[in-house]
Amino acid sequence: MGITSAIVLFAVIWFMTFFVVLPIRIQTQGDVGKIVPGTHAGSPEHHHLKKKAWITTAIAVVLWIIIGGTIISGVISVRDLDIFNRMSGAAPA
């Protein structure tokens, strides 16, 4: 895995983790009872974005090490995921 692949893998893991962490412990304007005119009651009142970004980064680093280590070690390869057996023969000329 090259440096570009590693960065892309980390970015994908980070954003997927961020979207999972984002709705956890959110307080909406409807929950607090202070709905600003022109906004939805489900709009966040206290979102704690900085804390969630740090939590996301910590989780993403752990997942990236596990997934990247699995890819680099060769425990699972692309051929293992070939369910239609399209990679069994030699490459066409």
What is d(CA 21, CA 82) in angstroms, rounded to the nearest whole number?
32
Q: Are residues 69 and 55 in contact, defined by beta-carbon separation less than 8 angstroms?
A: no
Q: What does the buried/exposed string (b/e) look like for 13-46 if buried means 16 or more CB atoms within 10 Å of the residue's CB?
A: bbeebbeebeeeeeeebeeeeeeeeeeeeeebee
Q: Closest by alpha carbon to 62, among 52, 70, 50?
A: 70
**What are the structural domain ranges in the chain?**
3-81
Structure tokens at 45: 């009142």
Average of per-residue pLDDT values in the chain:
87
- pTM assigned to the model: 0.73
Low-confidence stretches of the chain (pLDDT < 70) are 89-93
